[in-house]
Structure 1
Amino acid sequence: MKLKRKIYVSNSVPYFYPPKNDKARPSFIQYAINKAKNIDFSRTGLDYFIVATRNFSEKNRFIRKRKLNSHRALAMRVIVQAMLYHYNMLSKLVQASIEQLSDECRLSTISSAGNKSITRASRLITDFMEPIGLIKCEKKWDRVLGHYMPKLITLTPLFFLILDIKMERLENARYQRLGWINKGLIEKGSKPITLDEACQRCKDQQIRNMIKYRLDQHNLKLKVNRAKKLVSLNEVEAKQKILRNLISRYSVIELTVMGFSGLKKQVNIEYFFLKKLFFNDQ
C-alpha cells in the first residue's frame, strides 16, 4: 500500500491577493509581476548556504548546502509578486512589512490560541532571500516605542536578474517616474529634484508612515486594554472612572463652559465608545 506524503504546511498552494481598492500599479511593476508568475524558482538553480555550529564553538563551524524545496519555491513565487507590487522604483524599497506580505500571500497561520505566526514568510526572507543577495534588509530603532521597526526591504539587481529583467529597463522606469514627479513640482512653482533626492524623500516618507502607523496601533492597544478594564466593572463604576479621568483632563474653565449636562454627555459618549471598542476586539 502506497503511503500518502504528509503535507507539513497549512497552505500548500499560496496565492498573492493584492490589497482591495488599491490604485493601478505602473506598467513596469505589472510587467515584472507577470514575469514572476511564470518562473519556477525550484528550477532556477538557486542554492543557499547555512552556517551551522556545534556546541557554539568557532572551530566546529561548518557550511551546509541546501536546495530550495517545492513548498518554499511556491511561497517564494508569491512573495516575489507581493514585493514587486509594493515596490517603490525611486527608493528601491518594498513599501510593506513582512507581516503584510505574509498576510497578502496567505502564508500567515493562526494557532488555536488565536496567535498569528508569520514564520513561513519571515524564514523565507531572512534565511534564504537575504543571505543569497536577492534583497537587503535594514533594521531601524523606534525611539518612541523602544524597539525595532519592521525591516526595510531593498530589492537588489540580483532580484531582477533572476526574473530576467534588464536593469536598463528598471532605470528607464525610474527616470520616467522622476520626470512625472518633477513635472508636478514645476507646475506648483517648485524646483525639480534629482534621482537621489527623490530616493531619500521616498525613504523618509516611508519611515514616517511606519512610525505613525505603529504609534496609532500602540494607542489603539492602550484604548482596548482600558476598555477591557472598564467593561469588567458595572456601568455606574465605569462611568465614575471615566468622569474622574475627564475632570483631570480638562481645565476648570473648560468644565464650566461644558456644564453638568455637557460633561454627562461626554461621559456617555466615551463609555459607549470604549464598550464598542471592546466588543469589536473580540
Structure 2
Amino acid sequence: MPLCLNSHPISVRPANWKKLPGELGQTANKCAKRDVSRDVHFVLLRDAVGRKNDFRSARRRLLNAFFQEALNRVDLATDTLTINISEMAQALSKTLKTVVDTETGEESSRIVDAKVPECRIARLVNEVIIPFGLAYVVGGNEDNPQFGKMWDKTHGIWFPKILVLTDTFYRIAGANMEKLHAQREQHQEYRNIGLTTEGSEESVISVRHARETIRRRMFKAAWEKRKRHSARTRLTEKLEGMSFDDAKYEITKRALSSMSESERIEVLPEELNSRVFQILYDHNIYPPNTPPSH
C-alpha cells in the first residue's frame, strides 16, 4: 500500500472568516470534538454500499476533517457545498505535529503543512460521502453516475462540482435538527429577498430552483475558465514554435482584430507595439538573447 502523505489531516477555519452563526456554529464545535466515522450509520449501511470492512484509519481521519471543512463552507440556505477540489485539498493539507522545546523540554502541538492530494478528496466523496447518503449531486442520475460531475484532466478523476448535504450529514455531525431547520428557513427568507422572481412580489424562487441556479452559474464559470486557460495554452504553444518576429506578427494581427474600426484608426504605432510586447511577455515570449525581467 502506498505511503499516505498526511494520515491525520485537520480542518482549520481561517482566522479572517466570520464565526459560524447559530446552530451551524454549535454543530461545527461538536463535530470538531467527535469521531464521526464511528457513527452507527456507517455500520448499518456498510453492506448496502458494498463494503465488507471498516474504514482504514487514514480514511477515518480524512472523513472527520472533511465533515468539519464542509460545515465551514456550506451555504446553509440551500445546503449546497461548492467543491473546488484543489482548494479543499489545500485547506486539509495540515496536521498537528508535536514539537519539543530544546530549552525546557516541554512538548507542544503545532499546525504544519502536510499535503493531501486531490485524488484522496475525490475518492472520499465518490466512495463514502455520496454512497452513504451524506450528500447528493445536483442533477444526479442513477443511469449515469458521472452526470453532474466534472472530469479533471490534470488528476484524471471525476468529481462533483456541487454537493447538497443531507439531514443525515448534519445529524452525524451533531446538529439539533429542529434548531438547524429553523436557522435554514431564516437563511432562505434572507436569500429570497435577493432571488425573488422578477416582476412578481409573491413568486419566490424555491430552494430547488436556487440550487439549480447556483449549479448553472458554477458550471458556466468553470467552463469559461477552462476555455480561457485552454485558449491561452494553445496560443502559447503556437508562439513557442515560431521565431520571435513571426510571433510578434501573429500577436499584432490578433491585437488589431480585437479592436473596433475606430480604435484601429486612432491607435498609435507606439501604443500598438507596447500592447503587442506585453502580450508576448505574458506568454513568456522574449526577443532573442533577452533575459526575462523579474
TM-score by length of 2: 0.69
Alignment of 1:1-282 (within 5 A): 8-18=3-13, 21-45=16-40, 46-47=42-43, 48-49=46-47, 65-106=52-93, 117-137=117-137, 138=140, 139-140=147-148, 150-181=160-191, 191=201, 197-231=206-240, 233-250=242-259, 253-275=262-284
Over 3 Å counting, the alpha-carbon distance change for 1:19 and 1:244 in structure 2 is: farther
Query: 2:267 is paired with a residue of what secondary structure?
Result: helix
| 1:228 to 1:69, Cα distance in 2 relative to 1, 3 A | same
Count of paired positions: 245
**Structure 1 regions of 5+ residues with no counterpart?**
1-5, 52-62, 108-115, 143-147
Q: Which has the higher helix share?
A: 1
Amino acid in the other structure paired with 1:41: V
Cα displacement (A) at 1:74: 0.3
Indicate the larger mover: 133-142 or 156-165: 133-142
* CA distance in structure 2 between the partners assigned to 1:174 and 1:79 by the alignment: 21
1:153: Cα distance to partner?
1.1
Higher relative contact order (CA 8 A, sep 6+): 2
- State the distance in 1 between where 2:76 and 2:228 align: 32
Report the TM-score when normalising by structure 1: 0.71
Q: Aligned-pair distance for 1:258?
A: 1.5
Q: What is the alpha-carbon distance in structure 1 between the residues aligned to residue 195 and residue 220 of structure 2?
A: 26
Q: How far has the Cα of 1:208 moved from its partner?
A: 0.5
Aligned AA (1:66): N
Matched AA of 1:135: A
In 2, Cα distance between the equivalents of 1:207 and 1:149?
A: 16
Which sits farther off after the overlay, 6-15 or 119-128?
Answer: 6-15
Contact 2:248 2:277 in 1 (8 A): yes
Distance 2:129 2:192 in 1: 34
Structure 2 spans left out of the alignment, 5+ residues: 95-115, 141-146, 151-157, 286-291
